[in-house]
A = this chain, B = another copy of it.
Amino acid sequence: MAAFSFNKLVIFGVGLIGGSLARALRERARATGEVVGVGRSIKSVERALELGLIDSAVSLDDDHALELALRDADFVLVAAPVAQTEPLLRRIAPFLYARTIVTDVGSTKNDVVAAAHAALGDRVGQFVPGHPIAGRESSGPDAAIPDLYVDRNVVLCPLPENPPEVVERVADMWFATGASVHRMTAGQHDSVLASVSHLPHVLSFALVEMILQAPDAALKFSFAAGGFRDFTRIAASSPEMWRDVCIANRAALLTEIDAYTNVLARFRQAIETSDGAALEAAFERSRTARTEWQHGGAIKAADESAQ
């Protein structure tokens, strides 16, 4: 693990994600800097203070406390729902020191980049968009654990305005938590995540919605078993969060929905015409790829030249 140190880290939203970063930096990286937690109210960060995740708690409404909190901070972490990124950055902007590096943890990045430009203007170079791909079913400060990021992927989407050493500092911070750090453009990030995360959530919600519409929904649910359980686990996710993700990543998600609808139509055609060979070949490709993925093998595209 890289040695990593900081003097002051200010976390906006000390829940699972922000709290786990604080614990990882202290307990894994043995970094000794001050950690300040900021919440919509003092009450919302009190629990994080009780748990020792942060050294002090500040209310977002308190101008003076916020100014003190941000003074000479090395890092600001925005760990709030994506839709709050712009108002939060606007709130931070007047008190932001020139040497402070701001980063976030949002599941979508094109919209966060736009929010950062709108809120920070010509100081946008201080903001490095980020996304730790980690989570648990539980949330809140009590769910924070020091190992949440171990062997997880963190994606950074550096802006042209980011000085390289600023990006490097954010990468070092995540690396110190045990994560692998990757860089890609915001567009690439949003396309990749639309495909492997946002689309599956929409598809899972859609299956439950479809069954609910059936007149014999109760009967159907009563015979649902293990396959249904796994497939719909993510349909119990936060409606608010996924509403925001769907809208924030609209363009990429629509592309994925259309590509998926085409594959499903192709499968439908094979089923309708009893084309067992086509079905078996497709299912076999999927099984092979899924099994290789599970075991960490490299997966090749079906056809590197295909769309």
Q: Could you tell me which A residues sit within 8 Å of B by CB distance? A: 133-135, 152-153, 155, 182, 188, 191-193, 195-197, 199-240, 242-244, 246-247, 250, 253-254, 256-265, 267-268, 270-272, 274, 276, 279-287, 289-291, 293-294, 298-307
Contact = CB atoms under 8 A, between A and B. Distances in A.
B299 A213 contact: no
Contacts of A219: 188, 192
B254 A207 contact: no
A302 B223 contact: no
B289 A271 contact: no
Given A155-B223, A240-B280, A271-B250, A260 B301 contact: no
A43 to B, nearest CB: 25
A290 to B, nearest CB: 5
Given A201-B227, A208-B286, A303 B153 contact: no
12 contacts: A135-B226, A197-B227, A200-B231, A202-B267, A203-B264, A204-B286, A208-B285, A210-B263, A212-B285, A217-B302, A257-B271, A261-B268
A155 B212 CA distance: 22
Given A213-B259, A221-B196, A289 B208 contact: yes
Given A242-B279, A257-B271, A231 B230 contact: yes
Contacts of A284: 239
A298 to B, nearest CB: 6
Task: Please give the count of copies of this chain that the complex contains.
Answer: 2
A246 B207 CA distance: 18
B299 A223 contact: no
A305 B259 contact: no
Contacts of A304: 215
Dominant secondary structure at the A interface: helix
A301 B215 contact: yes
Contacts of A240: 280
Contacts of A262: 210
B289 A212 contact: yes
B223 A153 contact: yes
Contact of A231 (B231, B267, B289): B231
A274 B290 contact: no
A196 B220 contact: yes
B301 A223 contact: no
Contacts of A222: 153
A297 to B, nearest CB: 9
A289 B274 CA distance: 34
A212 B284 CA distance: 12
B282 A253 contact: no
A207 B200 contact: yes
B226 A247 contact: no
A197 B224 contact: yes
Nearest to A133: B225
